[in-house]
Amino acid sequence: MYTAPVDDIAFTLKHVAGLGDALQSGALGDLDEDLVDAILHEAGRFATEEVAPLAEIGDRQGSRMVDGEVRTPDGWAGLYHRWAEGGWNGLTAPEEFGGQGLPHMLNVAALEMWNSGSMAFALCPTLTMGAIEAITAHGSDALKAVYLENLVSGKWTGTMNLTEPQAGSDLAALKTRAERADDGTYRIFGQKIYITWGEHDAAENIIHLVLARLPDAPAGTRGISLFLVPKFMPDAAGNPGERNDLFCHALEHKLGIHGSPTCTMIFGDGRYGQEKGAIGWLVGEENKGLACMFTMMNNARLAVGMQGVAICEAATQKAIQYAKERTQGKAPGTTATGMSPIIEHPDIARTLLTMKALTQGSRAISFACAHAIDMSHAESDAGTQKFWQERAALLTPIAKSFSTDAGVDVASLGIQVHGGMGFIEETGAARYLRDARIAPIYEGTNGIQAIDLVMRKLPLSEGHHVRGFIEELKAIAEDVRASNKPELGETARYLDQSIADLEAATDWLLDAQAKGEAAAVLAGATPYQRLFGLALTGVYLAKGALAAVEDGQGTKRASLCRFAAENLLAETAALKDRVVSGAASLEAARVVLG
């Protein structure tokens, strides 16, 4: 059974990602360490005692259609109500609408624990939080007054409606249309697919944020608008009233996240007898909906990265527990009678340590990204604010892609540790892999994250930001060397090499982009993204090891850091070669594809 790793999360937040320094400087107002610890411990308790026990039934039952209505797994509606009553939906939401206005770092830490407990369940509040962000940033005062308090409290939930059968990653192809009405509202017509928690029985109303195109809109993404479309129209008292002209046509049957209802939504076919057209309100300006939606999507990408971290943690815990109990053969050097627990066999130990290193590295990268977001809001100086905005922009695609790739890899390794029993659903190890596999796909595939990283994020400030970040990484590696800690072994040398590989690949990509060699840059984008994530894993584990001298965990953290450096970081050299030399062979090999 999953147990929230509150101490590891708190340590990473404070000593690796930057929360401790922010608290000391007063950048986060009157937030103090005691409140941080209290929030983390209660979130961990709820995830461990309430969310995790319902994960299996959610996976086994799934959400289902009953007489045309969507029903969530047994116990999930009650779980959601308890979660909302705890105030968790409003951790970072504006205080004026009932939120707590806390840093994003605390929210993503809690999201890790919810997702480890049940990724399918945690998707519901994740989408609602995104809707709150979009309405707060772009909604009119009238929309905020009607919708935000109920969304922040969790009484109502939110969705994001982008994808259509012909429009996935390329939203320029979307066909859902909006028509202006005389009363200032709009009528929405069309079909949306893959809508997470688009219909359910856990909340009294569902607020859809829908991308659609007006009749006179420009072609492509420049002609997309964003609309708020409620399931039930709020009445004069702000309570759910008349049913709007929208419904869930079907649920997808998926590889994983079975408890999460993934819906095909139909807008505007007159199903409920009213005049055709789902009633919606414009969010932001006409034809500028994509910018509004990206307010929601950017933080959603980090939230998906946290899903990867969460699966890593849960799968690693399960694998370690199993490896301590399962006996097989004789471990080298054992003097005990009988068979040895498999955790004593070198290959199993290597596998489990790889899982732990990827988990802690992904967590640190994602928390560092959240810290950058917080600091971009906390700072008033324009130059400092720009620095943190660029740091958040640079880290977001890495946090999303590296963490979700790690989630898949770690969950797969977890099955391997279980052996044949891992392939049997009874153990629960397979669920983590099935759930993890969606995360590298949605909210922008990891390939798209790589394109964003190399084409948009590396050139920020003409490349000065990423180069400055690399200098920060070098300074941490130098701190490792200067520490002379014998338990860190050859960590400094491997850090130096991985950072040098990152620097060389970065310089090559920036130079190639300046020359207009877009195809060569894109050919190296995905290996570069992994190279960056691995280098950061090594550096952040080292930063944690150096900070852990006084917490009684120094030896454990240093040992894991050394393992990661000496066993994982050698891959960066091969990745660098793929970045700088892979384009020609890729182009030549296209003939193989026909």
- Residues catalogued as catalytic: 443
Structure tokens at 573: 């050299």
Looking only at the bridges linking them, the beta strands covering 246-251 and 156-161 are: unpaired
Chain Cα centroid distance, residue 339: 41
| Contact (CB, 8 A) for 203 and 156 | yes
| Contact (CB, 8 A) for 39 and 28 | no
Chain Cα centroid distance, residue 105: 13
Calpha distance 375→384 (Å, rounded): 9
Sign of CA dihedral 366, 367, 368, 372: positive
Instruction: Give the helix ranges, DSSP H, for 484-553.
Output: 491-514, 518-523, 525-547
Calpha distance 369→365 (Å, rounded): 6
Q: Which residues of 474-488 are buried (b: 16+ CB within 10 A; e: fewer)?
A: bebbeebeebebeeb
DSSP letters along 403-445, please?
HHHHHHHHHHHHHHHHGGGGGSGGGSHHHHHHHHTTTTTSSS-
**C-beta neighbour count of 253 within 10 angstroms:** 8
| Contact (CB, 8 A) for 569 and 534 | yes
Q: How many residues does the chain have?
A: 594
| Contact (CB, 8 A) for 481 and 491 | no
Q: For 129, list phi and psi in degrees, rounded to 5.
A: -60, -40
- Category of 67 on φ-ψ map: left (φ > 0), alpha (ψ -120 to 50) or beta: left
**C-beta neighbour count of 489 within 10 angstroms:** 16
Partners of residue 265 on adjacent β-strands: 192, 248
Calpha distance 318→314 (Å, rounded): 6
Structure tokens at 437: 């596999």
Residue 29 burial (C-beta neighbours within 10 Å; 0-12, 13-18, 19+) = exposed
Calpha distance 594→589 (Å, rounded): 10
Calpha distance 273→466 (Å, rounded): 57
Q: Cα Rg for the chain, rounded, in angstroms?
A: 24
Calpha distance 214→235 (Å, rounded): 27
Secondary structure in 3-state letters for 89-111 = HHCCCCHHHCCCCCCHHHHHHHH
